C-alpha cells in the first residue's frame, strides 16, 4: 500500500503545477467580478479640473480676510457657474461667482463659501435669481471647498494592480479614467464528469437502487464560486466504453480543468481509473484526510485533472481543500482561506487522519463555539447544507473533549 500523503504536501505539489490563464479583452460592463490582467495606469488626472465641493460662491480667499459675524464682507456676483459648464472669465478682486457642486473653479478664485454661510437664499433651488451681491460672515482658508485637479489620481499613476478583482468601486474608477474595455484573465472552463450505474439526473424517475447525481450540481456551484465556468456532461455508465466516450467528449470542449467524481476507490466498478491511465498521466493518491482519502491527480492530454471521491461530502471537502486553491491560481484570483478559532461545544472524534468535521458556529460570551452538524458520514450531504465551517482535527488526534480549541475553515458568513 502506498503511504498516506500529507494534505499540505499534496496541495503544494498541485499549486506548483497550476498555470494562470492568458488575458482576454472584455467590455467594461462585462468586467464585473473579473480579474485584472495587467496593472492599470491612469492616462488622466482625476478630477480633471479644479472644481467646487459645495454649492456656494467662489471667491478670492483674500477677500474674506476681514469677515466676521459683526462685519460681513459683501462681494458683487459676477458669474453663475453650473456643473458641466466652462467659465470663460477670470474672477477679479471684489467679485464672487455663484457655483454648483462639481462645477469648474474660475481662474482667480481660491476658495468656495458654502451657500449656507451666506445671506443668499436658495429656497427656490435652480430657479433662485442670481443676486447682485452676496454677503458672508467668516474668513476662508486658501483652497477651502475646492477639489484640486489630480487630488484623487494623478495622470501616470498606477491605480490597480494585476490580480485585482473588479468590484463596483473598480468598475467606476475604470469608467472615470475612460476605459471602455479591460484586459482580464480568461475564466477557466471546467468540465464535470460523473459516472455510476446508480446515478440518475434530476428529471429522471428514481427507480429501485438509483440515486440522483448530486455531485454534478454541487461541483458546478463550487466552480462558479471559484470564478470558473462549469460544464456538466451527461452521466457515464459503469462500463469502459461509456466512460471513454465521456472523457473524449470532455476533451473536445478544450477545457482548462477536468474534474471527475467517483470511480477512484477500489470497488469492482471503479473503471474510471482504467480510462484515466489510458488517456492521461495520473497518480492515485491516498491522502491523509477525512473525508476524501482516495483522490486521482494528474493531466490528461495536457489538461490538469482531479478525480475526486464519489461520496458527496468527500467531493465537496476535497474540492474546498485542494481544488479551490488550484482553480484560484488558474483563474488568477487571490486566494485566502478564512479561518476562525472556535471552541468545541461537544466531544469530537476522528480516526487519526486530518479530519474536516462539519460544524455550526455560534457566539457565546465573546467566544466562537463549534457544534457538530450531526452525522459526519461522507454520504450525508445535509451536513454540508447545515455547516458554517469545517473544523480541522489535526493528524494523530482521535478524540477531543468539549471545550477544545480548533481552527475552523469558514464556508459561509455565520448567521449570528
Residues that bind ligand AMP (CB under 6 A): 194, 196, 198-199, 211, 213-216, 261-263, 265, 267, 309-312, 379
- CA 168, CA 298: separation in Å to the nearest integer? 38
- CA 59, CA 73: separation in Å to the nearest integer? 11
What are the grid coordinates assigned to 90, written together?
477670470
**307 contact choice in Mg ion, ligand AMP, none (CB below 5 to 8 Å, kind-dependent):** none
Q: How far apart are the first and last CA of the chain?
A: 46
With respect to ligand AMP, which residue has the nearer C-beta, 196 or 228? 196
With respect to ligand AMP, which residue has the nearer C-beta, 93 or 221? 221
With respect to ligand AMP, which residue has the nearer C-beta, 117 or 198? 198
Least separation, in Å, of the C-beta of 248 and ligand AMP? 20
Least separation, in Å, of the C-beta of 306 and Mg ion? 16
**194 contact choice in Mg ion, ligand AMP, none (CB below 5 to 8 Å, kind-dependent):** ligand AMP
Q: Which of 222, 262, 303, 321 binds Mg ion (CB under 5 A)?
A: 262
Site string for Mg ion, 194-233 (x = CB under 5 A): --x-------------------------------------
Least separation, in Å, of the C-beta of 221 and ligand AMP? 13
With respect to ligand AMP, which residue has the nearer C-beta, 139 or 214? 214
With respect to Mg ion, which residue has the nearer C-beta, 21 or 381? 381
CA dist 191 → 46, 139, 211, 228, 256 (Å): 44, 68, 22, 10, 8
Closest listed residue to residue 14, CA positions, set 229, 298, 272, 332? 298
Residue 193 binds Mg ion, judged by CB under 5 A: no
**214 contact choice in Mg ion, ligand AMP, none (CB below 5 to 8 Å, kind-dependent):** ligand AMP
Least separation, in Å, of the C-beta of 380 and ligand AMP? 11
CB atoms inside a 10 Å sphere around CB 403:
11
**312 contact choice in ligand AMP, Mg ion, none (CB below 5 to 8 Å, kind-dependent):** ligand AMP
For residues 399 and 349, is the Cβ–Cβ distance under 8 A? yes
Backbone angles phi, psi at 353, to 5 degrees: -80, 165
With respect to ligand AMP, which residue has the nearer C-beta, 263 or 280? 263
Least separation, in Å, of the C-beta of 280 and ligand AMP? 18
What are the grid coordinates assigned to 56, written together?
456656494
Task: Using CB positions, name the residue nearest to Mg ion.
Answer: 196
Binding site for Mg ion (CB under 5 A): 196, 262
Amino acid at each position: 500500500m502506498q503511504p498516506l500523503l500529507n494534505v499540505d504536501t499534496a496541495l503544494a505539489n498541485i499549486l506548483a503545477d497550476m498555470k494562470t490563464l492568458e488575458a482576454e479583452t472584455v467590455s467594461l460592463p462585462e468586467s464585473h467580478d473579473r480579474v485584472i490582467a495587467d496593472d492599470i495606469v491612469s492616462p488622466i488626472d482625476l478630477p480633471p479640473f479644479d472644481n467646487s465641493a459645495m454649492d456656494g460662491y467662489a471667491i478670492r480667499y483674500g477677500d474674506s480676510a476681514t469677515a466676521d459675524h459683526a462685519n460681513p464682507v459683501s462681494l458683487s456676483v459676477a458669474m453663475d457657474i453650473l456643473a458641466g459648464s466652462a467659465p470663460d472669465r477670470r474672477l477679479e478682486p471684489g467679485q464672487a461667482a455663484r457655483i454648483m457642486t462639481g462645477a469648474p473653479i474660475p481662474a482667480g478664485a481660491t476658495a468656495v463659501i458654502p451657500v449656507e454661510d451666506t445671506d443668499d437664499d436658495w429656497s427656490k433651488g435652480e430657479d433662485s435669481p442670481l443676486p447682485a451681491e452676496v454677503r458672508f460672515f467668516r474668513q476662508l482658508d486658501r483652497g477651502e471647498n475646492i477639489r484640486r485637479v489630480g487630488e484623487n489620481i494623478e495622470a501616470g499613476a498606477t491605480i490597480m494592480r494585476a490580480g485585482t478583482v473588479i468590484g463596483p468601486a473598480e468598475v467606476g474608477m475604470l469608467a472615470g479614467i475612460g476605459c471602455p474595455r479591460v484586459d482580464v484573465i480568461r475564466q477557466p472552463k471546467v468540465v464535470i464528469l460523473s459516472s455510476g450505474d446508480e446515478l440518475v439526473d434530476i428529471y429522471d424517475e428514481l427507480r429501485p437502487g438509483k440515486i440522483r447525481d448530486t455531485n454534478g450540481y454541487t461541483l458546478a456551484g463550487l466552480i462558479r464560486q471559484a470564478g470558473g465556468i462549469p460544464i456538466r456532461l451527461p452521466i457515464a455508465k459503469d462500463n469502459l466504453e461509456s466512460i471513454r466516450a465521456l472523457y473524449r467528449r470532455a476533451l473536445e470542449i478544450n477545457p482548462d480543468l477536468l474534474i471527475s467524481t467517483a470511480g477512484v476507490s477500489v470497488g469492482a466498478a471503479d473503471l474510471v481509473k482504467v480510462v484515466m491511465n489510458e488517456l492521461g498521466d495520473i497518480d492515485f493518491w491516498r491522502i491523509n484526510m477525512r473525508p476524501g482519502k482516495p483522490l486521482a491527480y494528474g493531466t490528461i492530454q495536457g489538461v490538469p485533472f482531479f478525480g475526486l471521491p464519489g461520496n458527496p461530502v468527500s467531493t465537496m471537502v476535497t474540492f474546498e481543500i485542494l481544488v479551490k486553491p488550484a482553480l484560484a491560481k488558474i483563474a488568477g484570483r487571490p486566494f485566502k482561506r478564512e479561518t476562525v478559532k472556535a471552541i468545541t461545544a461537544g466531544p469530537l472524534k476522528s480516526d487519526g487522519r486530518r479530519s474536516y468535521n462539519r460544524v455550526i458556529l455560534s457566539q457565546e460570551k465573546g467566544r466562537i463555539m463549534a457544534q457538530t452538524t450531526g452525522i459526519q458520514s461522507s454520504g450525508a450531504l445535509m451536513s454540508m447544507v447545515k455547516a458554517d465551517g469545517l473544523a480541522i482535527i489535526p493528524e494523530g488526534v482521535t478524540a477531543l473533549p468539549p471545550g477544545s480549541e480548533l481552527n475552523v475553515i469558514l464556508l459561509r458568513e455565520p448567521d449570528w
